[in-house]
Amino acid sequence: MEGNVRCGNLRKAKDESGQAIVLAVVVMAVLIAFTGFALDVGHAYLTQRQLQSATDAAALAGALDLPVSAQAIQTARNYGPEPGMRNAPASNDNATIDAQTKCVTAIVTGCTPSNGQVNSISVHSSAVVKTIFAKVIGFGSFTVHATATACSPCSVKPLDIMIVLDRTGSMCQFSDGTNDPACTDLNNARQGIETFLRAMNPQFHHVGFAVLPPSTGATRNAQCSPPSTPADANYDSPTAGYLMVPLSSDFASPPGTLNAGSTLVDRVECQQKAGGRTGYANALDAAQAELQKDGRPGVQKVIIFLSDGAANYGPLSSPASYRNQPCQAGINSANAAKSQGTTIYSIGYDLDGSNGVYQACLTRSNATETPNINALQAMQRIASSADTFYNKPTPGQLNTIFASIAANIFRNAQLIDDTLS
């Protein structure tokens, strides 16, 4: 009897031991499944964080190329998470990106996409993360997403700005030197300046206007009409006036809408071919003098200078270098302004003429300037840096260049709330 009891207890112990092993195996399988699932989720989370970082970088990089929409989108792609791009996640090889530019009026008032004034870029990225362990419970992959929006410009800062326009005879000629009755180049310049003014906010920005050759009077008729005498004589006139409009803030109301009653808007719109040859230095001197005279203390000073040719003239009343080295004199005037903290943007318009040869700088007496220098070199050296020189080698619209200058002046980029519109 005792032996039978001991044998029964032994069989019961063996049965319970087998059940425990089965239970342990089940529990272990569940633990492994959950651990594996957790590892897959962790991998997906890591990929999402990498994707977000790449998307942020793409948006910030793209914003620095605004307002040129196509360029901003391409830059965002270059810095994005797609395979082969600069910020492709190491843990994933199938990321995709979509980038769109837009105008966020909550950032900068007066932003109008129709005028090329987009000021933000939104980047949306996604990636499929394949699983290893989670497949057991039906999850073959996870799709992760990331979104980032960046702006540029992101804020409005006070600026005092002088625009200097070359209105010499070549601005109303075709590239081959023949007369263009429609003055297409001059019209393009006027439209570009107006695009720039629409991007400015009169509450913060004061803008003035200077020209070359100068006018011989301060009346509207003198400033808007072609000279009755040879235009070159304007340079030597005792009443020569390069400054047409002092720094003003009535050019737009509200921001983005030009004020037809503004003297600045009127003088820009009324410009006609003045004819004559080209003298950079005095116009740049006049622009800087106005910035110093009427500019606000502590406010960044800016000159935007547009010319379509090499300097080849200088007034008799100016230093000899203005006549004998007109291009170098313009560079020297620009350097003097830069030394006082002024940032100079220069726009070389149709500088290479019809045959790809840049116009040589000449003296007032038509000799080659010494040392030799051409129009492209002069306009590059007038600018504050390579980033502030814009070359438009053939005739065409200037709106995009002036919009780019407006964006460059405010150049900064930051991530913003994706819901802003």
d(CA 188, CA 196): 12
The kind and range of the H/E element at 191 are helix 184-199
Determine the residue type at 38. A
**44: nearest Cα among 124, 141, 117:** 141
R_g over Cα of the chain: 33
pLDDT tens per residue, range 211-247:
999 998 889 999 998 876 777 888 998 888 999 999 9
pLDDT tens per residue, range 29-42:
555 555 656 676 77
Between 367 and 234, whose confidence is greater?
367
Q: Mean pLDDT in the chain? A: 86
**311: nearest Cα among 278, 358, 346:** 278
d(CA 329, CA 367): 15
Query: Does the pLDDT of residue 267 top 60, yes or no?
Result: yes
Query: Does the pLDDT of residue 130 top 90, yes or no?
Result: no
> Checking DSSP bridges between strand 389-392 and strand 414-416, what pairing results, if any?
unpaired
Q: What is the pLDDT of residue 1?
A: 44
Q: What is the pLDDT of residue 5?
A: 47
Task: Name the pTM for this structure.
Answer: 0.71
The kind and range of the H/E element at 22 are helix 2-63
Long-range contact pairs involving 259-264 (C-beta distance under 8 Å, separation at least 24) = 264/197, 264/207, 264/208, 264/209
Tell me the two tokens of residue 378. Answer: 């002069």
Query: Does the pLDDT of residue 7 top 60, yes or no?
Result: no
> Checking DSSP bridges between strand 343-349 and strand 300-307, what pairing results, if any?
parallel
Q: Sorting pLDDT into bands at 50, 70 and 90, what band is 362?
A: very high
Percent of the chain with pLDDT over 90: 53
**63: nearest Cα among 413, 404, 388:** 413
Domains and CATH numbers, the chain: 2-151 (no CATH), 159-413 (3.40.50.410)
Residue 164's alpha-carbon distances to 178, 244, 284, 290, 408, in angstroms, are 25, 10, 7, 12, 18
Q: Sorting pLDDT into bands at 50, 70 and 90, what band is 86?
A: confident
pLDDT tens per residue, range 110-122:
566 665 668 899 9
